[in-house]
Amino acid sequence: MAGKLLSARLSAAVFAISGNLRRHWYHKIGQRRLFRTTCARNSTVTGKAEVNGVQLYYEARGSGEHHVLCIPGALGTTRTDFGPQLEYFGRDENGYTVIAFDPRGYGGSRPPPREYVTKPETFLTVDALDACELMKVLGSPKFSVLGWSDGGISAMILAGRFPSVVRKMIVWGGNAFITEGDLELFEKTRDVANWSARMREPFEAIYGTKFPKMWSDWCDAMKEIYATNSNLCMDELPKVSCPTLVIHGAKDPLVPMLHPEYIVKNIKDSKLHLFPEGKHNVHLRFAKEFNELVDRFLKE
């Protein structure tokens, strides 16, 4: 219904992307800019939106009433982290409008450079606030959210602080807190020269020679958060009121089982689904099964 109401308000401008004619309508109400897109079947609309003083790059696909926001992981972007989800949930017949964005300082949302702030709010909270505001700017007052890794933490912060705007939430690969064991796992990843080419090259393609320092800075930020109070989103979990699906790869080398167990225990309307052979990127490695699982949950 929200999408239909928005379409009546907006004025038109036409542009072409990848050979498909797209239309992008804008309307300003004070500082608030609303948008609606219509495009060729199963095609993608890209753009930038001004959010909390920065320009955030986003991709939108599909035309359904159920809006779904995807929040990527550390250094992640729309395409590196959510290619299969954009394709699946963006099919018109599935009934969704799926939106993914690059957090500030990542991918297409540069400048500014990424700042891994830890006080008074962490960079994960900054991403949560940006995500919520982005959806307001794009004219989506209520939506479901998918969050992976750091994006899962930001999703839980968003759902805890703004429960009225989140319909359902799906998170995987995220922590609510940091343990000494977690720090040891993070530290083992610090030298990206030791990563496999398959894991390293997508980030090198985006960030070039800045990639090693960006990852090292992320590791330093986690150490600083641990030294302060180790809390990533523990305070927000009891405030989450939407139905929540926590997904976990049983062989995740970065996130031990204690983390999804804690999340499910502290979000009242939540359930846990395990992928026995899954690792950290379960949504990419088992994309078909993952997408169908999430689709069923969103339609329940």
Q: Which residues are catalytic?
A: 149, 252, 280
8 Å CB contact between 91 and 62: yes
Question: What residues does 51 pair with on adjacent strands?
Answer: 54
Question: What residues does 61 pair with on adjacent strands?
Answer: 44, 98
H-only helix segments in 121-257: 123-137, 150-161, 180-188, 197-207, 211-228
Nearest Cα to Cα of residue 250 among 273, 270, 284: 273
8 Å CB contact between 288 and 282: no
8 Å CB contact between 172 and 248: yes
Phi, psi of 254 (to 5 degrees): -105, -25
